[in-house]
A and B are shown apart, each in its own frame.
Chain A
């Protein structure tokens, strides 16, 4: 996930970009992620190359610190503590030892104290201006750092450092044609007294003569049809680059009026443009989590693509073939993203139409997608006109082409239903593939690769096989059983079970009140169970052999419950997985199954659970952490390329059970263990703390027996305690030991492993 700003290094070798609470360093040549600069505890809001040393970079963060890094080796050099949340950072060559920070609504100059210590508190703050725009691109340094220009709404201010004066120039609210004049970005010419400003209506104004307040002039150029998002002068000042929502990078020749070059269809609206200090490379960052590296000859030479996660309409899916995560990508595309390698694999063009980058235009979007069990077929639904009355949608079926290693369009169905398709699923049998779609017109349709009635030959395209409905009720979801012998379609509060062979309605199951939301058959040993969730927070489970009914009710915010289908009580509960609303979740198969004997986390042996929230993709690995993870957490974290920008979820530890810990440690083959020197100290320290952990775990087990509501308070308390403890163990800060504990520690060191066997036996 790439967001925010980035800089290109002097020789154009590296791209730096902010990403959550770290700064990522990429190579422009290979487009590979080199490393990330980690250390901030909150969102990194700005980065700026140190003008005194081009191998160093300043970063500022909302946690109130400015850090100086050596970005080639990824070393933190210094931390300056400011104490206020920072929103942007600006530096200039002329002002050595001073950084300009954006604090609140103020632009503040901060003298960075020179001291040898790692952490320094910077106290010398002086305000430059008290009213600046929250948009960081509305502030820029002028020629040789003589002045700083900042704009807010309709006013452009220029502060001259020598005169210590601010000149302001304002525009009218609207001009005659009703265009909006508000400033959106600023760039200053590096060698000339000229300020370029971008405006809401897409105009670019070039301001001159602003040194004399009364005699200022400006010239206007207009190409963008929407707001100009970013402006940038090339280092020599010969060209001006501008970008906006149209996704076209425009290069204006400075001083020649209207001569310009275009680079269209870069993908996603352009958020930032920057040029390398030798002017050979440009970089654009896009709203779809992408950085494009462009040569000065205006050719794209590299693309760094992250996970696109704006407006995810499809479910999170796993491609059975490549085990990649599949979801909405670029507009009209599906993206395949490898979670194991944290790398964007490719985009599959579903809509196959030119995307028009224009605000407020209603265009086709992929809203549903489904894979069959072998990953040979992909079904997609694209929709347009959700808001207006005339809804257009297409159902498309894609087959996997071995030769091109990609999906190829097989069938397009224009009017699959008369109303919107709600859900679809493939049958899970190996021999025949069948697709069932349900729609708001009250019907469900089965599609299969038909056999021509006349020639008796297999057609290679899909056609409708069956149309069914149930009392004109609106269907809500559908699911095939594991062996595809049954199809369950839920209609409002009723589940209907059909036989896909004969299309006979076998039985109907009536729910307790509440419209059914989701429907799922059990797999493998639990395939006799049918599970449904309703809008009234009920989880219902049917045993289809006896048509018996098991039910459970639960509630909780942002909580993960894990059930066994045949037990009404949750196997595992995890509260407050993350701070935001969870939109979707998906199980991702692991490359190699874990061998975990702890019952509460056994369910994660084969897969990991990922959540998609508003802003990020969260991996819920925490619930699966093994004792080893606790011990070696730090080592692992560096090896694992986790997708999460901030690993917020990894707070909750595994329930520490001493005996299990020890058995696992002892039963693990020696060759997979880390060096004994690393292991020993951590192992011993973990043994020391396990006493307190044990108490907590028993307390929690008690709690889970009670009703959810009254235990909530206690749970939180115990959670926070555990968090503290985990942080302690992960950061390897040795807790202060009491005398009794010290004595115990000595005893532990002296005793041999035969004593350990007794410990195993003693603990259940």
Chain B
């Protein structure tokens, strides 16, 4: 005698992203802390020194935050107009910032008043930075010039006018104090050598350059602009390595994680994307507004993102001990000893073994199905917890009832309340391509059964009305998608060389529209 075979619940694999180590790593951040600034956050820079405070440039102020503080430790407010590009010196003791009025100010991290002021730019200075020797400051301005300043004497050392549009991106070399890279709205990225006083390399990005970034080895250069992120190989004379197009709006900032040098890019489309070493997107952070600036703390402890709406969003990394405190709070089940009790008993040689039949444990709906109580089984499957958190179980029971030919019996004879439950379930899941087929059958049967009495209940009538609307919309959508598919087919057909056989893509075609529709 065979035992009862329980209802089989089909678990379909989730399409889309696969869980990799990178995904797990980047998922391991707490929910973001939101700090409100006075205006759009244009620049975030982490101090290279141990507490790793970070300077946030927004509106007319530069705030310095501690890694875990939500209040600024220090703020520099002596700007008459908007401040730009606050960045630390290599020893973390000095801070330089440009401003809308063209002045460049140099601050001591402990002081309040500017130590030096570099005047000379005629227009706003958006980017400033120390060269790696720490004695010179380089700045890029909207007056098309790029100037280098001497810190001790506060005089201009040189001025280079090679760009033909605003300079909005700057990256000094950390290995060579005479090298720096600039990016401009004239679509070019230039590498300057202070020793020759002119550019030594020019790369055509093709879009206004918003940000440039050098890899620590300084063999690779990242430039962002437009929707593109481009990686250049400097050792090969500025050859383009990859061109990435993963954002659908202008990419405004890029930075490197300190663990494994993963590239992160932020864009006006409100996403931060994390790439792996082969430049595939492995993770995605969503933000509330367009992203202007971003920085990652050493050891990837903090990811700070600045947005146009003046919100600084700070994500802290989760640590093991945090998790432990969470789990320890949970009630612990019976100990291991309870389960293995008596299991490891070794019978002696002359013992007579009587084996106990293994009891088959069935779920409640299976028990009811076993005794052919179809309506009760459906009720069980439609219970709140099941239908919300495990709709596939509910659908599996519906499919099983349909297979047994008793779905109609199970749906019949219901009152308004239980009918509403079923209709709600339909409304929620009827477009899910996994469930739509059995649920459409359910809808048909419900209509057949209750057609006569529908008008008696306004609630049910309203729900059916909604169901009709939703289905109409879905049908329209499907039709449009089919049209698009048709267009695509003609395009593909014209592209592929004439062949006798139409070799289609390996992906099952019919699933495409349904999934997108869902």
Residues of chain A touching chain B, judged by Cβ–Cβ distance below 8 Å, are: 263-267, 300, 349, 352-354, 356, 358, 361-364, 384, 390, 412, 414-415, 418, 443, 452, 454-455, 464-470, 496, 503, 505, 508
Contacts and interface: CB of A to CB of B under 8 A. Distances in A.
B503 A265 contact: no
A735 to B, nearest CB: 57
A17 to B, nearest CB: 20
Interface residues of B, number: 32
Given A415-B508, A467-B503, 7 more contacts: A265-B2, A265-B4, A363-B403, A390-B437, A454-B18, A466-B506, A469-B501
B405 interface: yes
A418 B501 contact: no
A263 B1 CA distance: 8
A363 B219 CA distance: 66
Contacts of A496: 501
A754 B54 CA distance: 115
B8 interface: yes
Given A266-B1, A455-B20, A361 B508 contact: no
A470 B10 CA distance: 34
B5 A505 contact: no
B510 interface: yes
A496 B405 CA distance: 43
Contact of A466 (B2, B405, B502, B503): B503
Give 7 closest A-B pairs by Cβ, nearest first.
A505-B501, A354-B5, A467-B504, A265-B2, A300-B1, A464-B506, A356-B404
Given A454-B20, A464-B508, A353 B501 contact: no
15 contacts: A353-B5, A354-B4, A354-B6, A354-B369, A358-B405, A384-B403, A390-B437, A443-B504, A466-B503, A467-B506, A469-B502, A470-B501, A496-B501, A503-B503, A508-B500
Question: By DSSP majority rule, is chain A's interface helix, strand, loop, or mixed?
Answer: loop
Given A300-B1, A467-B505, A418 B20 contact: no
A464 B500 CA distance: 22
Contacts of B453: none
Contacts of A363: 403
A363 B400 CA distance: 10
Contacts of A465: 506
Contacts of B403: 353, 363-364, 384
B3 interface: yes
Contacts of B437: 390
A722 B315 CA distance: 94
B8 A353 contact: yes
A469 B502 CA distance: 6
Nearest to B509: A467
A358 B403 CA distance: 12
Contacts of B280: 454
Contacts of A361: 404-405
A123 B10 CA distance: 68
A242 to B, nearest CB: 17
A349 B5 CA distance: 11
Interface in B243-293: 280
Contacts of B510: 415, 418
Nearest to A416: B508
Of the candidates A267, A354, A412, A415, the one having the most CB atoms from chain B within 10 angstroms of its own CB is A354
A418 B437 CA distance: 14
A347 to B, nearest CB: 9
B415 interface: no
B511 interface: yes
Given A265-B3, A361-B405, A352 B8 contact: yes
Contacts of A464: 506-508
B12 interface: yes
Contacts of A452: 18
Interface string B437-474: 10000000000000000000000000000000000000
A468 B400 CA distance: 34
Interface string B485-518: 0000000000000011111111110110000000
A644 B6 CA distance: 38
B506 A352 contact: no
Interface string B302-324: 00000000000000000000000
A358 B504 CA distance: 43
B69 to A, nearest CB: 40
Given A363-B403, A455-B20, A469 B1 contact: no
A306 to B, nearest CB: 18
A468 B501 contact: yes
Contact of B503 (A300, A415, A468): A468
Nearest to A347: B2
A455 B280 CA distance: 12
A469 B506 contact: no
B365 to A, nearest CB: 13
A263 B404 CA distance: 21
A361 B503 CA distance: 40
B505 A505 contact: no
Interface in B168-206: none
Contacts of A358: 405
Contacts of A349: 5
Nearest to A504: B501
A739 B463 CA distance: 103
A443 B501 CA distance: 11
Nearest to A446: B506
B373 to A, nearest CB: 14
A454 B21 CA distance: 12
Interface string B1-33: 111111110101000001010000000000000
Nearest to B510: A418
A189 B437 CA distance: 53
Contacts of A467: 503-506, 508
Contacts of A354: 4-7, 369-370
Contacts of B1: 263-266, 300
B278 to A, nearest CB: 9
Nearest to A264: B1
A8 B495 CA distance: 77
A469 B504 contact: yes
Contacts of B508: 415, 464, 467
A414 B18 contact: no
Contacts of A443: 504
A414 B405 CA distance: 21
Nearest to B18: A454
Contacts of A267: 2
A572 B7 CA distance: 53
Of the candidates B437, B502, B505, the one having the most CB atoms from chain A within 10 angstroms of its own CB is B502
Contacts of B400: 353
B193 to A, nearest CB: 41
A384 B404 CA distance: 12
Nearest to A455: B20
Contacts of A384: 403
A466 B506 CA distance: 5
Contacts of A412: 10
Contacts of A505: 499-501
A401 to B, nearest CB: 20
A364 B399 CA distance: 12
Nearest to B434: A414
Nearest to B406: A356
A414 B392 CA distance: 15
A265 B3 CA distance: 7
B468 to A, nearest CB: 22
Contacts of A352: 5, 8
Contacts of A454: 18, 20, 280
A464 B403 CA distance: 28
Contacts of A390: 437
A196 B161 CA distance: 113
B371 to A, nearest CB: 11
Contacts of B4: 265, 354
A467 B506 CA distance: 6
Contacts of B20: 454-455
Nearest to A303: B1
A414 B10 contact: yes
